[in-house]
Amino acid sequence: MFLRIIQDIALMSGIGILLALVMVIAQRWLSNYGELNININSKKDLTVTGGNSLLSSLSEKQIFIPSACGGRGTCGACKCKVIEGGGPLLPTEKPLLSKAEIEDHIRLACQVKIKSDIKIEIPESIFNIKRFHSEIEEIIDYTYDIKGITFKLLNGETIDFKAGQYIQLETQPYGKVKQSVVRAYSISSKPELKDRIQLIIRLVPEGICTTWVHNYLKVGDKVNFTGPYGDFYIRDTNADIIFVAGGSGQAPIKSMLEHLKEVGTDRKMSFFFGARTTKDLYLTEEMLAFEKHFNDFHYIPVLSHPEPDENWQGRIGFVMPYFKEAIRDPKNTEAYLCGSPGMIAGVTKSLVEEYSLDKDKIYYDSFG
Ligand SMILES: Cc1cc2nc3c(=O)[nH]c(=O)nc-3n(C[C@H](O)[C@H](O)[C@H](O)COP(=O)(O)OP(=O)(O)OC[C@H]3O[C@@H](n4cnc5c(N)ncnc54)[C@H](O)[C@@H]3O)c2cc1C
Ligand code: FES
């Protein structure tokens, strides 16, 4: 009897192992798509190994589609037109695509898997995005959770970008994190400086990239990034400007102000910086120096939760009520916003509904 039970268990285990083996072999066989072709803009053909995402297949061929969320399907930055061979639209793509985009065959490159030859269209400007190799030159503690990091480009490389654009940093494995991830960071240095860039990075508790940057990265380390990306840059007009930022959102605004200092401007400009307490203020001296340099620039920090012992004499609360100090002609005012999605939504609503700014003159980079 006992022997019979042992025999039955052995038989069942054997069948289980055999089935698992068949499944693994079938899966390998089914997902072996061989070499496939990506046709870009009816001009360029690339041979890639099938089965990977369109985003990673292009990146292997040094074509870098913006992917601010690192391919997690949450940012929508990787939209591109798939004319043929993209397969059905996936549920992970729908929330980030409008009806018009779906009708226009727009897809998320990070979600589309290459399972057959594929035909796509991407803007020509994407071909200017490159991978850069750099060495960490300087790390500054701006606040208890914000660091400024300078990346010096290696091999005589130089970078061309517009003030306000961002790069995508490639992390290295550390501690228990075994994989490299990609995250977006706005360049905080001026575009006139071409052989190095500075980033301003706020620590996100348990964040993969920011923990690496804050706790592991050191001067002399070699780091790769791609860029430049994005359409958050100063429009070349004479309109008055309102800058609004919170936390590390000050990064692209710093780059824009440094660039405007280089090229010169008489535009009326106000920078509203929202922070919790005085401990979250940084680059204050630089902002006061800009006030002295420009004809009409005002730096306006606003604290939401000043501590009683800080003896804060400045503005308190949300930034929105203070915009009235800065807006003289709403139809001739542009706004440049940078920070959390919540801040950007609230400020945009206020600028349009309370201050009558044109929505299409409000430019932003959302760090969400
Ligand atoms: C265009 C663009 C430009 C950006 N520029 C900058 C910049 O200049 N400086 C900068 O510090 N960041 C910037 N970011 C944000 C940055 O890309 C990362 O999202 C952020 O640093 C967190 O990365 P992580 O890997 O440490 O966290 P993750 O491992 O991605 O996230 C860990 C957890 O924290 C949450 N989380 C992610 N980001 C935040 C956040 N910002 N605040 C609160 N919770 C969060 C996630 O939902 C998750 O639960 C930018 C983002 C975009 C899209
Ligand atoms: S990379 Fe963010 S949605 Fe595709």
Distance (Å) from CA 53 to ligand 1 centroid: 23
In the prediction, which pLDDT does 21 show?
61
In the prediction, which pLDDT does 297 show?
98
> Is the Cβ atom of 202 under 6 angstroms away from ligand 1?
yes
pLDDT, mean of each 10-residue run, the chain (368 residues):
66 68 57 89 95 95 93 92 95 95 96 96 94 98 98 97 97 94 96 98 97 98 97 96 97 98 97 97 98 98 93 95 95 97 97 97 93
In the prediction, which pLDDT does 144 show?
97
Distance (Å) from CA 120 to ligand 2 centroid: 17
In the prediction, which pLDDT does 353 show?
98
In the prediction, which pLDDT does 6 show?
66
In the prediction, which pLDDT does 23 show?
61
In the prediction, which pLDDT does 340 show?
94
78 Cα nearest atom in ligand 2 = 4
Task: Tell me yes or no: is domain 35-126 CATH 3.10.20.30.
Answer: yes
Ligand 2 pocket test: which of 53, 92, 110 has the largest number of ligand atoms within 8 Å of its C-beta? 110
283 Cβ contact partners less than 8 Å away, ≥ 6 residues apart: 142, 250, 254
Please tell me the number of the ligand nearest to residue 67's CA: 2
In the prediction, which pLDDT does 363 show?
98
Distance (Å) from CA 234 to ligand 1 centroid: 23
**What kind and span of H or E run contains 99?**
helix 99-103
With both helix axes pointing from N to C terminus, report the angle between 284-293 and 250-263 in degrees, rounded to the nearest 10. 30
Distance (Å) from CA 74 to ligand 2 centroid: 6
In the prediction, which pLDDT does 310 show?
86
> Is the Cβ atom of 346 under 6 angstroms away from ligand 2?
no
Residue 275 · residue 281 · CB < 8 Å:
yes
In the prediction, which pLDDT does 8 show?
73
Could you give the CA distance from residue 314 to residue 73 in angstroms, rounded to a whole number? 41
Please tell me the number of the ligand nearest to residue 255's CA: 1
Residues in the chain: 368
Question: How much helix, strand and coil, in percent to the nearest 5, is found in the chain?
Answer: 30, 30, 40
> Is the Cβ atom of 76 under 6 angstroms away from ligand 1?
no
The residue ranges of every structural domain in the chain are 35-126, 130-229, 240-366
> Is the Cβ atom of 110 under 6 angstroms away from ligand 2?
yes
Distance (Å) from CA 148 to ligand 1 centroid: 15
- The per-residue pLDDT for range 306-346, each reduced to its tens digit, is 998 889 999 999 999 999 989 999 999 999 999 999 999 99
In the prediction, which pLDDT does 16 show?
66
Number of other CB atoms surrounding residue 127 within 10 Å:
14
Ligand 1 pocket test: which of 140, 144, 174, 204 has the largest number of ligand atoms within 8 Å of its C-beta? 204
> Is the Cβ atom of 210 under 6 angstroms away from ligand 1?
yes
Domain 240-366: state its class.
alpha beta
204 Cα nearest atom in ligand 1 = 26
pTM of the complete model: 0.89
- Residue having the nearest C-alpha atom to atom 27 of ligand 1: 207
What topology does CATH give the domain 130-229? Elongation Factor Tu (Ef-tu); domain 3 (2.40.30)
Could you give the CA distance from residue 353 to residue 232 in angstroms, rounded to a whole number? 22
